[in-house]
Chains A and B, each alone.
Chain A
Amino acid sequence: MQREQLEMAPDAATDWPDRIYALLKEHGIRQVALVPDAGHARLIRRCEADNDIRVVPLTTEEEGIAQLFGAWLGGQKGVLLMQSSGVGNCINMLSVAIAHRTPLPMIVTMRGDFGEFNPFQVPMGNATQTVLEAMGTLVKRADRPEDVADTVNATLRLAFNTYRPTATLIGQRVIGAKTFGK
Protein backbone atom coordinates (compact mmCIF):
# COMPACT_ATOMS: atom_id res chain seq x y z
CA MET A 1 0.00 0.00 0.00
CA GLN A 2 1.28 3.47 -0.84
CA ARG A 3 1.30 6.41 1.57
CA GLU A 4 -0.86 8.39 -0.87
CA GLN A 5 -3.62 5.87 -0.33
CA LEU A 6 -3.53 6.56 3.40
CA GLU A 7 -3.75 10.30 3.08
CA MET A 8 -6.80 12.12 1.90
CA ALA A 9 -5.88 15.26 0.03
CA PRO A 10 -7.65 17.11 -2.75
CA ASP A 11 -6.66 16.34 -6.30
CA ALA A 12 -3.82 18.56 -7.49
CA ALA A 13 -6.00 19.88 -10.30
CA THR A 14 -8.71 21.22 -8.02
CA ASP A 15 -8.56 24.91 -7.13
CA TRP A 16 -10.76 25.22 -4.05
CA PRO A 17 -7.88 25.36 -1.53
CA ASP A 18 -6.45 28.32 -3.45
CA ARG A 19 -9.85 29.97 -3.54
CA ILE A 20 -10.15 29.60 0.25
CA TYR A 21 -6.73 31.23 0.60
CA ALA A 22 -7.87 34.12 -1.61
CA LEU A 23 -10.93 34.56 0.64
CA LEU A 24 -8.78 34.64 3.78
CA LYS A 25 -6.82 37.50 2.19
CA GLU A 26 -9.97 39.28 1.05
CA HIS A 27 -11.37 39.17 4.59
CA GLY A 28 -8.12 40.33 6.18
CA ILE A 29 -7.45 37.14 8.14
CA ARG A 30 -4.21 37.54 10.15
CA GLN A 31 -4.16 34.47 12.42
CA VAL A 32 -4.71 30.92 11.21
CA ALA A 33 -4.96 28.39 14.05
CA LEU A 34 -4.92 24.74 13.07
CA VAL A 35 -4.47 21.11 13.77
CA PRO A 36 -3.38 19.72 10.41
CA ASP A 37 -5.55 17.64 8.13
CA ALA A 38 -4.49 16.28 4.78
CA GLY A 39 -7.53 17.95 3.24
CA HIS A 40 -6.18 21.33 4.35
CA ALA A 41 -2.53 20.64 3.45
CA ARG A 42 -2.42 22.89 0.40
CA LEU A 43 -4.23 25.75 2.12
CA ILE A 44 -1.86 25.45 5.09
CA ARG A 45 1.15 25.71 2.75
CA ARG A 46 -0.29 28.85 1.16
CA CYS A 47 -0.82 30.44 4.58
CA GLU A 48 2.66 29.49 5.79
CA ALA A 49 4.15 31.21 2.75
CA ASP A 50 2.31 34.46 3.58
CA ASN A 51 4.20 36.85 5.88
CA ASP A 52 0.97 38.66 6.79
CA ILE A 53 -0.64 35.53 8.16
CA ARG A 54 0.49 34.02 11.47
CA VAL A 55 0.03 30.25 11.33
CA VAL A 56 -0.29 28.72 14.80
CA PRO A 57 -0.21 24.92 15.02
CA LEU A 58 -2.11 23.73 18.10
CA THR A 59 -1.83 20.72 20.38
CA THR A 60 -5.62 20.45 20.47
CA GLU A 61 -8.31 22.29 18.54
CA GLU A 62 -9.92 24.00 21.55
CA GLU A 63 -6.74 26.05 21.90
CA GLY A 64 -7.73 27.66 18.63
CA ILE A 65 -11.09 28.83 19.96
CA ALA A 66 -9.30 30.54 22.84
CA GLN A 67 -6.58 31.98 20.61
CA LEU A 68 -9.02 33.51 18.13
CA PHE A 69 -10.95 35.12 20.98
CA GLY A 70 -7.68 36.71 22.08
CA ALA A 71 -6.93 37.78 18.53
CA TRP A 72 -10.31 39.49 18.25
CA LEU A 73 -9.74 41.26 21.59
CA GLY A 74 -6.65 42.72 19.94
CA GLY A 75 -8.39 43.61 16.68
CA GLN A 76 -7.18 40.78 14.46
CA LYS A 77 -9.36 38.39 12.52
CA GLY A 78 -8.61 34.68 12.55
CA VAL A 79 -9.87 31.37 11.30
CA LEU A 80 -9.61 27.83 12.71
CA LEU A 81 -8.78 24.95 10.37
CA MET A 82 -9.37 21.39 11.51
CA GLN A 83 -10.69 17.95 10.73
CA SER A 84 -14.14 16.87 11.89
CA SER A 85 -12.66 14.81 14.73
CA GLY A 86 -11.25 18.04 16.16
CA VAL A 87 -14.70 19.59 16.47
CA GLY A 88 -15.31 17.25 19.37
CA ASN A 89 -12.37 18.80 21.20
CA CYS A 90 -13.86 22.30 20.92
CA ILE A 91 -17.31 21.95 22.38
CA ASN A 92 -17.10 23.60 25.81
CA MET A 93 -14.58 26.20 24.62
CA LEU A 94 -17.18 27.43 22.09
CA SER A 95 -18.97 28.95 25.11
CA VAL A 96 -16.21 31.59 25.12
CA ALA A 97 -17.14 32.81 21.64
CA ILE A 98 -20.87 32.60 22.32
CA ALA A 99 -20.79 34.47 25.63
CA HIS A 100 -18.43 37.20 24.38
CA ARG A 101 -20.07 37.37 20.91
CA THR A 102 -16.78 36.71 19.16
CA PRO A 103 -16.60 36.21 15.39
CA LEU A 104 -15.18 32.71 15.08
CA PRO A 105 -15.11 31.10 11.62
CA MET A 106 -14.08 27.45 11.34
CA ILE A 107 -13.28 25.49 8.19
CA VAL A 108 -13.69 21.78 8.80
CA THR A 109 -12.65 18.97 6.49
CA MET A 110 -14.92 15.99 7.01
CA ARG A 111 -14.00 12.42 7.83
CA GLY A 112 -16.40 9.65 8.71
CA ASP A 113 -18.71 11.11 6.18
CA PHE A 114 -18.70 9.58 2.71
CA GLY A 115 -17.07 6.25 1.99
CA GLU A 116 -15.07 6.28 5.22
CA PHE A 117 -12.74 3.34 5.84
CA ASN A 118 -11.67 3.99 9.46
CA PRO A 119 -14.33 3.06 12.06
CA PHE A 120 -12.94 5.54 14.60
CA GLN A 121 -13.73 8.49 12.31
CA VAL A 122 -17.42 7.68 11.97
CA PRO A 123 -18.87 8.62 15.39
CA MET A 124 -17.50 12.18 15.40
CA GLY A 125 -17.94 12.64 11.65
CA ASN A 126 -21.57 11.64 11.97
CA ALA A 127 -22.06 14.03 14.90
CA THR A 128 -20.04 17.03 13.69
CA GLN A 129 -22.87 19.20 12.39
CA THR A 130 -25.24 18.23 15.21
CA VAL A 131 -22.86 19.11 18.02
CA LEU A 132 -21.72 22.36 16.41
CA GLU A 133 -25.33 23.44 16.00
CA ALA A 134 -26.13 22.33 19.54
CA MET A 135 -23.44 24.81 20.63
CA GLY A 136 -24.94 27.69 18.68
CA THR A 137 -22.70 27.55 15.63
CA LEU A 138 -24.08 28.40 12.19
CA VAL A 139 -23.09 25.48 9.94
CA LYS A 140 -23.02 25.35 6.13
CA ARG A 141 -21.93 22.33 4.13
CA ALA A 142 -20.13 22.10 0.80
CA ASP A 143 -20.34 18.72 -0.88
CA ARG A 144 -19.18 19.73 -4.36
CA PRO A 145 -15.83 21.36 -5.17
CA GLU A 146 -17.52 24.23 -6.97
CA ASP A 147 -19.50 25.09 -3.80
CA VAL A 148 -16.56 25.31 -1.39
CA ALA A 149 -15.48 28.90 -1.98
CA ASP A 150 -18.98 30.39 -1.82
CA THR A 151 -19.73 28.43 1.34
CA VAL A 152 -16.50 29.51 3.05
CA ASN A 153 -17.22 33.09 2.03
CA ALA A 154 -20.64 32.86 3.66
CA THR A 155 -19.09 31.40 6.80
CA LEU A 156 -16.57 34.25 7.04
CA ARG A 157 -19.20 36.90 6.39
CA LEU A 158 -21.65 35.43 8.90
CA ALA A 159 -18.96 35.31 11.58
CA PHE A 160 -17.61 38.83 11.16
CA ASN A 161 -20.91 40.51 10.35
CA THR A 162 -23.01 38.83 13.03
CA TYR A 163 -20.50 38.04 15.82
CA ARG A 164 -20.74 34.31 16.46
CA PRO A 165 -19.07 30.97 15.74
CA THR A 166 -19.70 29.73 12.21
CA ALA A 167 -18.44 26.71 10.29
CA THR A 168 -18.10 25.36 6.79
CA LEU A 169 -17.99 21.58 6.61
CA ILE A 170 -16.17 20.41 3.48
CA GLY A 171 -17.64 17.01 2.68
CA GLN A 172 -15.44 13.96 2.34
CA ARG A 173 -16.79 13.54 -1.17
CA VAL A 174 -15.04 16.80 -2.11
CA ILE A 175 -11.74 15.74 -0.63
CA GLY A 176 -11.74 12.08 -1.59
CA ALA A 177 -12.37 9.07 0.65
CA LYS A 178 -9.58 6.92 1.98
CA THR A 179 -10.05 3.37 0.85
CA PHE A 180 -6.87 1.56 1.87
CA GLY A 181 -7.44 -0.40 -1.32
CA LYS A 182 -10.85 -1.68 -0.16
Chain B
Amino acid sequence: MAEAIETGASGKLNRRAVVRALLKDRAGLLVIGGLGAPAWDITAVGDCPENLPLWGGMGGAAMMGLGLALAQPERKVLVITGDGEMLMGVGSLATIAVQRPRNLSVVVLDNEHYGETGMQETHTRHGVDLAGMAKAAGFADARLIREAAEVHALREAIHAGNGPLFAQIKVDEKNEPLVLPPREASILQARMREAILGPEAHLQ
Protein backbone atom coordinates (compact mmCIF):
# COMPACT_ATOMS: atom_id res chain seq x y z
CA MET B 1 0.00 0.00 0.00
CA ALA B 2 1.47 3.32 -1.06
CA GLU B 3 1.96 5.91 1.68
CA ALA B 4 -0.45 8.79 1.95
CA ILE B 5 0.78 12.15 0.70
CA GLU B 6 -0.24 14.99 2.97
CA THR B 7 -2.02 18.04 1.67
CA GLY B 8 -1.81 21.70 2.67
CA ALA B 9 -4.43 24.25 3.69
CA SER B 10 -5.49 24.64 0.06
CA GLY B 11 -6.24 20.94 -0.17
CA LYS B 12 -3.44 20.60 -2.72
CA LEU B 13 -0.55 18.22 -2.25
CA ASN B 14 2.35 19.18 0.00
CA ARG B 15 5.49 19.66 -2.11
CA ARG B 16 7.92 17.99 0.32
CA ALA B 17 5.66 14.97 0.61
CA VAL B 18 5.44 14.77 -3.18
CA VAL B 19 9.22 14.87 -3.56
CA ARG B 20 9.65 12.31 -0.79
CA ALA B 21 7.29 9.97 -2.64
CA LEU B 22 9.00 10.53 -6.00
CA LEU B 23 12.47 9.84 -4.57
CA LYS B 24 11.46 6.79 -2.53
CA ASP B 25 13.77 3.83 -3.21
CA ARG B 26 15.42 5.95 -5.89
CA ALA B 27 18.19 3.44 -6.69
CA GLY B 28 20.59 5.15 -9.10
CA LEU B 29 18.22 7.95 -10.07
CA LEU B 30 20.07 11.16 -10.99
CA VAL B 31 18.19 14.27 -9.86
CA ILE B 32 18.55 17.90 -10.90
CA GLY B 33 16.67 20.34 -8.66
CA GLY B 34 15.68 23.73 -10.08
CA LEU B 35 16.69 26.82 -8.18
CA GLY B 36 14.68 27.83 -5.15
CA ALA B 37 12.17 25.59 -3.46
CA PRO B 38 12.76 22.45 -5.61
CA ALA B 39 16.46 22.54 -4.66
CA TRP B 40 15.51 22.85 -0.98
CA ASP B 41 12.94 20.06 -1.41
CA ILE B 42 15.34 17.48 -2.83
CA THR B 43 17.85 18.44 -0.14
CA ALA B 44 15.26 18.05 2.63
CA VAL B 45 14.49 14.54 1.44
CA GLY B 46 18.18 13.70 1.58
CA ASP B 47 21.28 15.34 0.11
CA CYS B 48 23.55 12.97 -1.82
CA PRO B 49 26.03 13.00 -4.73
CA GLU B 50 23.29 11.94 -7.16
CA ASN B 51 21.53 15.25 -6.43
CA LEU B 52 22.43 18.41 -8.32
CA PRO B 53 20.60 21.25 -6.56
CA LEU B 54 20.83 24.49 -8.52
CA TRP B 55 21.50 27.92 -7.08
CA GLY B 56 20.95 29.72 -10.40
CA GLY B 57 20.73 29.22 -14.13
CA MET B 58 17.00 29.94 -14.12
CA GLY B 59 15.34 28.36 -17.15
CA GLY B 60 18.07 25.79 -17.67
CA ALA B 61 17.13 22.85 -15.46
CA ALA B 62 15.30 20.80 -18.10
CA MET B 63 18.11 21.26 -20.62
CA MET B 64 20.66 20.17 -18.02
CA GLY B 65 18.59 17.04 -17.68
CA LEU B 66 18.71 16.53 -21.44
CA GLY B 67 22.50 16.83 -21.61
CA LEU B 68 22.88 14.40 -18.70
CA ALA B 69 20.32 11.95 -20.08
CA LEU B 70 22.04 11.87 -23.48
CA ALA B 71 25.44 11.35 -21.85
CA GLN B 72 24.17 8.56 -19.55
CA PRO B 73 21.51 6.67 -21.52
CA GLU B 74 21.58 3.74 -19.08
CA ARG B 75 20.73 5.95 -16.09
CA LYS B 76 17.35 7.48 -15.27
CA VAL B 77 17.43 11.26 -15.00
CA LEU B 78 14.79 13.30 -13.15
CA VAL B 79 14.52 17.08 -13.27
CA ILE B 80 12.40 18.53 -10.46
CA THR B 81 11.76 22.22 -10.92
CA GLY B 82 9.24 24.98 -10.34
CA ASP B 83 6.62 26.56 -12.55
CA GLY B 84 8.48 29.89 -12.78
CA GLU B 85 11.73 28.17 -13.72
CA MET B 86 10.02 26.01 -16.35
CA LEU B 87 8.20 28.98 -17.86
CA MET B 88 11.51 30.83 -18.29
CA GLY B 89 12.91 27.95 -20.35
CA VAL B 90 9.68 26.70 -21.90
CA GLY B 91 11.25 26.44 -25.36
CA SER B 92 13.39 23.62 -24.00
CA LEU B 93 10.28 21.44 -24.00
CA ALA B 94 10.41 21.59 -27.79
CA THR B 95 14.14 20.89 -27.88
CA ILE B 96 13.77 17.88 -25.56
CA ALA B 97 10.71 16.48 -27.35
CA VAL B 98 12.64 16.44 -30.63
CA GLN B 99 15.53 14.53 -29.02
CA ARG B 100 13.19 11.98 -27.37
CA PRO B 101 15.43 10.84 -24.48
CA ARG B 102 13.71 7.76 -23.03
CA ASN B 103 15.51 8.11 -19.71
CA LEU B 104 14.50 11.71 -18.93
CA SER B 105 11.60 12.92 -16.80
CA VAL B 106 10.78 16.56 -16.14
CA VAL B 107 8.55 17.22 -13.15
CA VAL B 108 7.24 20.69 -12.35
CA LEU B 109 6.11 21.37 -8.79
CA ASP B 110 3.48 23.96 -9.68
CA ASN B 111 2.56 26.23 -6.77
CA GLU B 112 1.50 28.96 -9.24
CA HIS B 113 3.83 31.49 -7.59
CA TYR B 114 7.41 32.78 -7.55
CA GLY B 115 8.04 31.48 -4.04
CA GLU B 116 11.48 32.97 -3.41
CA THR B 117 10.70 36.55 -4.37
CA GLY B 118 7.51 37.43 -2.54
CA MET B 119 4.93 34.98 -3.87
CA GLN B 120 4.06 36.87 -7.03
CA GLU B 121 1.73 34.88 -9.27
CA THR B 122 3.12 33.00 -12.27
CA HIS B 123 1.28 32.43 -15.53
CA THR B 124 0.11 29.00 -14.35
CA ARG B 125 -2.03 30.85 -11.79
CA HIS B 126 -3.85 32.32 -14.77
CA GLY B 127 -4.47 29.09 -16.58
CA VAL B 128 -1.30 28.47 -18.55
CA ASP B 129 -1.21 24.71 -18.99
CA LEU B 130 2.39 23.48 -18.89
CA ALA B 131 1.41 19.83 -19.37
CA GLY B 132 -0.59 20.85 -22.42
CA MET B 133 2.40 22.76 -23.77
CA ALA B 134 4.62 19.73 -23.23
CA LYS B 135 2.08 17.53 -24.99
CA ALA B 136 1.87 19.93 -27.90
CA ALA B 137 5.68 20.04 -28.09
CA GLY B 138 5.71 16.28 -28.59
CA PHE B 139 5.98 14.65 -25.16
CA ALA B 140 3.86 11.54 -25.65
CA ASP B 141 3.44 11.29 -21.87
CA ALA B 142 2.55 14.64 -20.29
CA ARG B 143 0.52 14.54 -17.08
CA LEU B 144 -1.31 17.06 -14.94
CA ILE B 145 -1.34 15.66 -11.41
CA ARG B 146 -3.47 16.65 -8.42
CA GLU B 147 -3.89 13.39 -6.48
CA ALA B 148 -1.58 11.24 -4.35
CA ALA B 149 -2.27 8.09 -6.35
CA GLU B 150 -1.10 9.87 -9.50
CA VAL B 151 2.15 10.78 -7.76
CA HIS B 152 2.82 7.15 -6.93
CA ALA B 153 2.10 6.17 -10.53
CA LEU B 154 4.47 8.89 -11.70
CA ARG B 155 7.25 7.48 -9.54
CA GLU B 156 6.81 4.12 -11.28
CA ALA B 157 6.84 5.79 -14.70
CA ILE B 158 10.05 7.69 -13.93
CA HIS B 159 11.80 4.38 -13.29
CA ALA B 160 10.21 2.64 -16.30
CA GLY B 161 12.29 4.58 -18.82
CA ASN B 162 9.60 5.15 -21.44
CA GLY B 163 10.24 8.86 -21.62
CA PRO B 164 10.56 11.60 -22.28
CA LEU B 165 8.02 12.14 -19.53
CA PHE B 166 6.59 15.43 -18.33
CA ALA B 167 4.47 16.02 -15.25
CA GLN B 168 2.97 19.18 -13.79
CA ILE B 169 1.99 18.58 -10.18
CA LYS B 170 -0.27 21.12 -8.51
CA VAL B 171 1.13 21.70 -5.01
CA ASP B 172 0.16 23.83 -2.04
CA GLU B 173 1.77 27.26 -2.15
CA LYS B 174 3.00 27.35 1.45
CA ASN B 175 6.75 27.81 1.74
CA GLU B 176 8.46 24.95 3.58
CA PRO B 177 11.41 25.44 5.97
CA LEU B 178 14.69 26.18 4.20
CA VAL B 179 16.96 23.16 3.94
CA LEU B 180 19.98 24.40 2.05
CA PRO B 181 22.34 22.20 0.01
CA PRO B 182 26.06 22.92 -0.34
CA ARG B 183 26.58 26.24 -2.11
CA GLU B 184 30.03 25.55 -3.61
CA ALA B 185 28.91 24.48 -7.06
CA SER B 186 32.23 22.98 -8.18
CA ILE B 187 31.75 20.41 -5.40
CA LEU B 188 28.18 19.71 -6.51
CA GLN B 189 29.40 19.07 -10.06
CA ALA B 190 32.41 17.01 -9.02
CA ARG B 191 30.51 14.80 -6.59
CA MET B 192 27.88 13.85 -9.16
CA ARG B 193 30.55 13.18 -11.80
CA GLU B 194 32.42 10.95 -9.36
CA ALA B 195 29.18 9.14 -8.42
CA ILE B 196 28.59 8.39 -12.11
CA LEU B 197 32.08 7.95 -13.49
CA GLY B 198 34.15 6.91 -10.48
CA PRO B 199 37.57 8.42 -9.66
CA GLU B 200 38.35 8.76 -13.38
CA ALA B 201 35.89 11.64 -13.38
CA HIS B 202 38.66 13.87 -12.10
CA LEU B 203 41.16 12.72 -14.73
CA GLN B 204 38.94 13.20 -17.80
Instruction: Give chain A nearest CB distance to B193 CB in angstroms.
Output: 6
The answer on a CB contact under 8 Å between A30 and B63 is no
Task: Verify if A68 is at the interface (C-beta below 8 Å from B).
Answer: yes
- How long is the Cα–Cα vector from A42 to B95 in the complex, in angstroms? 22
**Range of interface residues on chain B?**
35 or more
Supposing A57-B95, A63-B89, A100-B189 touch, asked if A71 and B57 sit within 8 A by C-beta, the answer is no
Task: Verify if A38 is at the interface (C-beta below 8 Å from B).
Answer: no
- How long is the Cα–Cα vector from A70 to B32 in the complex, in angstroms? 9
- How long is the Cα–Cα vector from A71 to B197 in the complex, in angstroms? 12
- How long is the Cα–Cα vector from A99 to B193 in the complex, in angstroms? 15
The answer on a CB contact under 8 Å between B67 and A75 is no
The answer on a CB contact under 8 Å between B66 and A75 is no
Stretch at the interface among B5-13, B20-28, B68-76: B68-76
Task: Verify if B185 is at the interface (C-beta below 8 Å from A).
Answer: yes
The answer on a CB contact under 8 Å between B56 and A95 is yes
Residues in A whose Cβ lies below 8 Å from that of B201: 75
The answer on a CB contact under 8 Å between A70 and B68 is yes
Q: B61: nearest residue on chain A (CB-CB)?
A: A66
The answer on a CB contact under 8 Å between A31 and B60 is no
Interface residue ranges of A46-88 to B (CB < 8 Å): 54, 56-60, 62-76, 78
The answer on a CB contact under 8 Å between A69 and B67 is yes
- How long is the Cα–Cα vector from A95 to B64 in the complex, in angstroms? 14
Residues in B whose Cβ lies below 8 Å from that of A31: 67, 70-71
Task: Verify if B181 is at the interface (C-beta below 8 Å from A).
Answer: no
Supposing A58-B95, A63-B89, A75-B201 touch, asked if A96 and B56 sit within 8 A by C-beta, the answer is yes
Supposing A31-B67, A54-B70, A96-B56 touch, asked if A74 and B196 sit within 8 A by C-beta, the answer is yes
The answer on a CB contact under 8 Å between A67 and B196 is no
Task: Verify if A102 is at the interface (C-beta below 8 Å from B).
Answer: yes
Instruction: Give chain A nearest CB distance to B88 CB in angstroms.
Output: 10
Task: Verify if A25 is at the interface (C-beta below 8 Å from B).
Answer: no
Residues in A whose Cβ lies below 8 Å from that of B71: 30-31, 70-76
Task: Verify if B52 is at the interface (C-beta below 8 Å from A).
Answer: yes
Residues in A whose Cβ lies below 8 Å from that of B188: 100
- How long is the Cα–Cα vector from A95 to B56 in the complex, in angstroms? 8
Instruction: Give chain A nearest CB distance to B163 CB in angstroms.
Output: 15
Interface residue ranges of A8-48 to B (CB < 8 Å): 30-31
Residues in B whose Cβ lies below 8 Å from that of A75: 71-72, 193, 196-197, 201, 204
The answer on a CB contact under 8 Å between A68 and B67 is yes
Instruction: Give chain B nearest CB distance to A148 CB in angstroms.
Output: 26
Residues in A whose Cβ lies below 8 Å from that of B186: 99-101
Residues in B whose Cβ lies below 8 Å from that of A56: 66, 70, 95, 99
Instruction: Give chain A nearest CB distance to B63 CB in angstroms.
Output: 4
The answer on a CB contact under 8 Å between A102 and B70 is no
Q: Apart from A56-B66, A96-B64, A99-B55, what 9 extra A-B contacts exist at CB < 8 Å?
A: A59-B92, A63-B89, A67-B64, A69-B57, A71-B70, A73-B189, A73-B196, A75-B71, A100-B185
**Could you show 30 A-B contacts with beta carbons less than 8 Å apart?**
A31-B67, A56-B66, A59-B94, A59-B95, A62-B59, A63-B95, A65-B60, A66-B59, A66-B60, A66-B63, A66-B67, A66-B92, A69-B64, A69-B67, A70-B71, A71-B71, A72-B189, A73-B52, A73-B68, A74-B196, A75-B71, A92-B57, A93-B57, A93-B59, A96-B54, A96-B56, A96-B57, A96-B64, A99-B56, A99-B186
